[in-house]
């Protein structure tokens, strides 16, 4: 068992029946576990040499922010519609039921910048793939993806191919 696994809490049937929600708040609350998480992710993504980290609303902001500070790289944020104050690009993608949209400020990425996309958890990969599209639409390069948790059985990596994917805990 991984040293960090005990800090992830399973919540059955949240937010709806049949889903086991991986709750990362115990990990955040434990300073050693949070620091270790950021250190491990940083070791994994350093070779990908990102210029910017992109945090996905909202738990991606927590890890993206910490990595940005540690790696001395800028942070950009993909947000739910209507939250960003300046002009935005947006992408819509399918969820299990219905669809979702994420927005990024139009001037977030300069041409050729390497962007590493960060979220707490990789499930089907739809959210991260949508962010990869936003990066490419702004002529950035997707340096890779980093997640704390990966739900392997949903095969989200496939949707992100051929971009590199890092995760710490796989279920
Ligand atoms: P997906 O687009 O299917 O890869 O879903 C990823 C997004 O949904 C991430 O922002 C996750 O935080 C959230 N998510 C999906 N499934 C779970 C789960 N079982 N536990 C916690 N968060 C989840």
Q: What is the pLDDT of residues 12-31, one digit of tens each?
A: 999 999 999 999 999 999 99
**Within a domain: residue 42?**
no
Rounded Cα–Cα distance for residues 106 and 117 (Å): 17
Q: Is the CB of 78 under 6 A from ligand 1?
A: no
Residues contacting 51, CB < 8 A, separation 6+: 73, 74, 113, 114, 115, 143
The yes-or-no answer on residue 36 being catalytic is: no
Is 43 a domain residue?
no
Q: What is the pLDDT of residues 117-133, one digit of tens each?
A: 999 999 999 999 999 99
pLDDT score of 98: 87
Q: What is the pLDDT of residue 95?
A: 86
Question: What's the 78 CA to ligand 1 centre distance in angstroms?
Answer: 15
Q: How many domains in the chain? A: 1
Q: Per the omega criterion (within 30 degrees of 0), is the bond before 111 cis?
A: no
* Residue 6 in domain: no
Q: Is 10 exposed, middle or buried (0-12, 13-18, 19+ CB in 10 A)?
A: exposed
Could you identify the residue written with the tokens 């039921």? 97
Q: Tell me whether strands 99-105 and 88-94 are parallel, antiparallel or unpaired.
A: antiparallel
Q: What is the pLDDT of residues 58-117, one digit of tens each?
A: 999 999 999 999 999 999 999 999 999 999 999 999 987 789 999 999 999 999 999 999
The answer as to whether 21 is a domain residue is no
Expressed as residue numbers, the domain containing 153 is 49-170
Residue 124 sits in a domain of what CATH number? 3.40.50.2020
Catalytic residue among 36, 57, 59, 114: 59
pLDDT at 141: 99
| pLDDT greater than 90 at residue 57 | yes
Residue among 50, 72, 49 at smallest CA distance from 135: 50
Q: In this structure, is residue 10 part of a structural domain?
A: no
Q: What is the pLDDT of residue 167?
A: 98
Predicted TM-score of the model (pTM) = 0.98
């Amino acid at each position: 068992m991984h040293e960090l696994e005990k800090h992830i809490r399973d919540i059955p049937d949240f937010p709806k029946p049949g889903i086991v929600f991986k709750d990362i708040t115990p990990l955040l609350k434990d300073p050693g576990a949070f620091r270790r998480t950021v250190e491990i992710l940083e070791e994994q993504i350093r070779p990908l040499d990102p210029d910017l980290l992109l945090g996905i609303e909202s738990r991606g902001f927590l890890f993206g922010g910490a990595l940005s500070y540690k790696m001395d790289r800028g942070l950009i944020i993909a947000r739910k519609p209507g939250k960003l104050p300046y002009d935005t690009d947006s992408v819509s993608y399918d969820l299990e039921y219905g669809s979702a949209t994420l927005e990024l400020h139009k001037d977030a990425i300069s041409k050729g910048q390497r962007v590493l996309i960060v979220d707490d958890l990789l499930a089907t990969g739809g959210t991260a793939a949508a962010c990869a599209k936003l990066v490419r639409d702004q002529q950035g390069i997707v340096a890779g993806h980093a997640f704390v948790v990966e739900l392997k059985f949903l095969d989200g990596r496939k949707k992100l191919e051929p971009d590199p994917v890092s995760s710490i805990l796989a279920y």
